[in-house]
Structure 1
Amino acid sequence: MTNTKFAHASADDLERLVELRLIAMRPSLEAIGRFNPDRARQRFVNEFEPEHTRLIFENDKLVGCFALLPRKDHLYLGHFYLHPDVQGKGIGKQVMKDILGAATALKRPIKLITLNESPAISFYEALGFAVTASDDVETTMEWSPNH
């Protein structure tokens, strides 16, 4: 039986979260010919807000993270990564149910950006997110507590 726990991130977690991002995102980025470790690292560094980032532990091992960033009219779900070893085991779905519950309590929609053709799109659609925009690389999705 697994045991999922959360902890607040700190600035000291930056490097291990960059590594987690590279491991988790590599297959999707390679599939579209855009895997660039330096660019992936810089994007994470530029957007890292430790005070809004939570670490996900499974049986006391770091397996993921997410950032739920407050914005003027919504919450932005950024940097939601799970290590490939734990993907498909229900952890992401449970984390998202907790996030959606928090957003419902706050009466705030959630927006996120995912890579085009990523399996994440169907994952988020199953949770009630809808595609609101896309470009050559990314798809923007939104979930509303009023849907």
Structure 2
Amino acid sequence: MPHFRMRSATQEDLAVTYSITEEAMRGYVEETWGNWDEEEQLQKHRANFTPETYRMILVDEEVAGLVAVEEFLSHVWLVKLYLSVRYRGQGIGSQVLQDIQKDAAIRGKPVTLRVLRVNTRAQALYAKHGFKVTEESAERLHMASGA
């Protein structure tokens, strides 16, 4: 596994987080809903990008991915965990996920997330780390692990 570090996101990360999101999700969005509307996706990203919930994943100071987490009274919600294609399959996602689970366990909270049904690679990663399906909809699975 390559050495990586994380840093807090800033407003200046808006463009790179959109680029990583598109790289990670475009195919799944097209498979699920039929198309990727660039303007709509960019608007959504601008509206939902909150630097305080994002952490940038860096390998050799290059942005390799991002993670967004929100903590609630009852649980920790893994909003996003996206890696650029060239950094997938190297253990980075697993390590980030384990760190989130450890932090949540210290707080006595489960980690929850939702994943598109068509994203079987992510589902396999989450299942490997103890996540179980808690709810299903036509497009998504809701999963949880821990407390």
Q: Return the TM-score normalized by structure 1.
A: 0.89
Aligned to 2:91: 90
Residues 65-113 of structure 1 deviation map (CA, whole Å, 9 limit, x = unaligned): 1111012311111121100111111110111111111111111111111
Q: Cα distance 1:136–1:38, how it changes in 2: closer, same or farther (>3 A)?
A: farther
What is the distance in 1 between the residues matched to 2:118 and 2:80? Answer: 17
The alpha-carbon deviation at position 16 of structure 1 amounts to 1.4
The answer on 1:10 being equivalent to 2:19 is no
CA, structure 1 residues 133+36, in 2 after alignment: closer, same or farther (shift >3 Å)?
farther
**Shift in CA distance, 44/112, structure 1 to aligned 2, threshold 3 Å:** farther
The secondary structure found in structure 1 opposite 2:73 is coil
Query: What one-letter code is carried by the residue in structure 2 that aligns with 1:23?
Result: E
Residue by residue over 1:19-52, the C-alpha shift from the partner in whole angstroms, topping out at 9 and shown as x without a partner, is 1100111222233334333333333333322112
2:55 partner SS: strand
Unaligned runs of 5+ in 1: none
Amino acid across the alignment from 1:78: V
Within the alignment, does 1:51 sit opposite 2:52 as a pair? yes
* 2:86 maps to 1:65: no
Query: Within 5 A, what are the aligned runs for 1:1-147?
Result: 2-32=2-32, 33-118=34-119, 119-145=121-147
1:123–1:39 Cα change, 3 Å: farther
Structure 1 stretch displaced more, 23-32 or 78-87: 23-32
Secondary structure of the 1:102 match is helix
- For the 8 Å contact 1:129–1:141, the answer to whether it is kept is yes
Distance 1:39 1:80, change over 3 A: farther
Taking the aligned partners of 1:122 and 1:20, their CA distance within structure 2 comes to 21
* Identical pairs, percent: 28
Q: Which runs of 5+ in 2 are unaligned?
A: none
